Amino acid sequence: MIKVRLKQGRERTLANRHPWFFSGAIDRVEGNVVPGDIALITDAQGEARAWGYINPRSQIAIRVLSWDAEERIDGAFLKRRLDASIARRQGLPGLQETDACRLVNAESDGLPGLIVDCYGEWLVIQSLTAGMDRLKNDIAGILMETLHPRGVYERSDVDVRPREGLEGVRGLLCGEMPPDAVRVQEHGRAFDVDVHRGHKTGFYLDQRDSRNRVSAYCQDGVVLNAFAYTGGFGVYAGTAGARRIVNLDSSAEALEAAQRHMSLNGVPPEQCEYVSADAFRMLRVFRDQARRFDVVVLDPPKFAFSRAQLNAATRGYKDINLQAMHLLRPGGILATFSCSGAVDERLFQQVVFGAAVDAGKDVLILERLGQAADHPVALFFPEAAYLKGLICRVE
Ligand code: SAH
């Protein structure tokens, strides 16, 4: 058995129950470690405190699986964790209206490094760590037995895996291979999710509630859906009575999917426009053309992957928000988001404030938005909070 002794003075960290231990917190390791091994974690006095998995190749050397040193990490443990995670989602507001949701949100659900998303009859899992790689086949088997999906597909082709010394992998873990398009329903809208190649596990499930909230401002309006991806916000706007929807994205392929989603949901093609271009450039072009919108949605990709990129990221956010403010009619709505974990709510608000100052606009925050409830944030693990959004009225 691998035993990890923490350094003196880690009592506070243990008491705070943060599920990560960095290599600097470790005093010594007993046993020959293979990345991903289960390890017993003891305090400096040698008293057993937790179970976790260890990866000496990762800066995050240990991720805690259980704070109960008596608990055995076996199949029954995994089943308890998965059952609890699934049960926690029952009756959550918003989930009655959809058959696509997150079932396991990694550390926040007590299963570090594991994402499980459900798309209709299919499950997609993502393993981010060496420790989770060792458990994922058991987990897929348990999910198969408890939820009876048609198949469990793996999408572990994520940017964080190299930090664990791992390559990206994708493929079938259990059951049948999912089709290229998995039809799902969300708040009365239909989407064909590409679980093989789509972003994340196929779809931005985290924005479900925000898409719905923003749609309430779109009736009769001209809407610019910037960073449209496969048209999520655009489809909601169109079906909520928007007069015209301009979908803007740098990916022509994503816009083709957006177009299919618009027609799938009965939005007349003459009300839709698709612009494949860089948003930073195109927002300026729209301004030069004196185009005006009633609603602008800004849902860009992650700009900051670490604290070191914070300055460049905030400049980027400020720029698009400033440009968007210039495109709005007086009293128009700006729905603006950031999914960079390093940019917290306060900083994001400051950035939008800076944009308003430069744009010379009065801006009111009408609503604060965040990730949907199936993406919960454990209080012990604030890193799980990454998505924030503001619905603003721009005077
Ligand atoms: N709002 C979407 C998710 C957006 S994901 C939804 O609800 O589903 C971010 C999108 O931004 C991706 O589709 C990506 O292609 C696009 N993107 C990234 N950089 C861009 C840029 N500079 N200009 C325009 N689009 C960009």
List the domain boundaries for the chain. Answer: 2-66, 75-180, 204-394
11 band by pLDDT with thresholds 50, 70 and 90: confident
CB 108: neighbour CB atoms within 10 A?
A: 21
Sort 16 into a burial class: Cβ within 10 Å, 0-12 / 13-18 / 19+.
exposed
d(CA 211, ligand 1 centre) in Å: 15
Atom of ligand 1 nearest to the CA of 204: 8
Q: Do the domains spanning 75-180 and 204-394 agree at the CATH topology level?
A: no
pTM of the model: 0.97
pLDDT digits (tens, 9 = 90+) for 91-138: 998 898 899 999 999 999 999 999 999 999 999 999 999 999 999 999
Ligand 1 pocket check for 254: Cβ under 6 Å: yes
Per-residue pLDDT, 209: 96
Distance CA 148, CA 135 (A): 19
d(CA 198, ligand 1 centre) in Å: 12
pLDDT digits (tens, 9 = 90+) for 46-100: 999 999 999 999 999 999 999 999 999 999 999 999 999 999 999 998 898 899 9
Mean pLDDT, the chain, whole residue set: 97
Say what percent of the chain tops pLDDT 70.
100
Atom of ligand 1 nearest to the CA of 251: 15
Ligand 1 pocket check for 278: Cβ under 6 Å: yes
**Ligand 1 binding pocket mutation candidate from 191, 223, 249 (most atoms within 8 A of CB):** 249
d(CA 142, ligand 1 centre) in Å: 35
pLDDT digits (tens, 9 = 90+) for 309-336: 999 999 999 999 999 999 999 999 999 9
pLDDT digits (tens, 9 = 90+) for 209-233: 999 999 999 999 999 999 999 999 9
What counts of helices (H) and strands (E) characterise the chain? 9, 20
142 band by pLDDT with thresholds 50, 70 and 90: very high
Residue nearest (by alpha carbon) to ligand 1 atom 20: 250
Active site residues: 339
Ligand 1 pocket check for 122: Cβ under 6 Å: no
Residue nearest (by alpha carbon) to ligand 1 atom 11: 227
Ligand 1 pocket check for 209: Cβ under 6 Å: no
Q: Which helix (H) or strand (E) holds 212?
A: helix 208-215
Residue nearest (by alpha carbon) to ligand 1 atom 18: 301
Compute the average pLDDT of residues 258-276. Answer: 98
d(CA 288, ligand 1 centre) in Å: 22
Residue nearest (by alpha carbon) to ligand 1 atom 13: 229
What value does the CA radius of gyration of the chain take, rounded to a whole number of Å?
23
Residue nearest (by alpha carbon) to ligand 1 atom 6: 232
Distance CA 200, CA 195 (A): 9
Distances (CA, A) of 273 to 77, 321, 367: 51, 21, 27
**Ligand 1 binding pocket mutation candidate from 223, 250, 262, 286 (most atoms within 8 A of CB):** 250
Ligand 1 pocket check for 303: Cβ under 6 Å: no
Per-residue pLDDT, 204: 98
Distance CA 134, CA 139 (A): 10
Task: Tell me: pLDDT of 264 over 90.
Answer: yes
In degrees and rounded to multiples of 5, residue 353 shows phi and psi of -60, -45
Provide the 8-state DSSP code for 289: T
pLDDT digits (tens, 9 = 90+) for 275-301: 999 999 999 999 999 999 999 999 999
pLDDT digits (tens, 9 = 90+) for 181-210: 999 999 999 999 999 999 999 999 999 999
CB 22: neighbour CB atoms within 10 A?
A: 12
- Decide: helix, strand or coil at residue 46: coil
* DSSP characters over 160-180: TGGGGT---EEEEEEESPPPS
Provide the 8-state DSSP code for 238: H
CATH superfamily of 75-180: RNA methyltransferase domain (HRMD) like (3.30.750.80)
Angle separating helix axes 279-288 and 310-327, nearest 10 degrees: 30
CB 116: neighbour CB atoms within 10 A?
A: 26
Q: What value, to the nearest 5°, has the Cα angle with vertex 183 and ends 277 and 211?
A: 55
Type of residue found at 378: A
**CATH topology assigned to domain 204-394:** Rossmann fold (3.40.50)
Give the architecture-level CATH label for domain 2-66. Answer: Roll (2.30)
Ligand 1 pocket check for 249: Cβ under 6 Å: yes
**Ligand 1 binding pocket mutation candidate from 184, 203, 213, 229 (most atoms within 8 A of CB):** 229
Ligand 1 pocket check for 229: Cβ under 6 Å: yes
Q: What value, to the nearest 5°, has the Cα angle with vertex 260 and ends 390 and 242?
A: 45
Distance CA 16, CA 318 (A): 35
Residue nearest (by alpha carbon) to ligand 1 atom 21: 278
Ligand 1 pocket check for 233: Cβ under 6 Å: yes
d(CA 73, ligand 1 centre) in Å: 40
Residue nearest (by alpha carbon) to ligand 1 atom 10: 227
Cβ(369)–Cβ(352) below 8 Å = no
Ligand 1 pocket check for 280: Cβ under 6 Å: yes
Ligand 1 pocket check for 337: Cβ under 6 Å: no
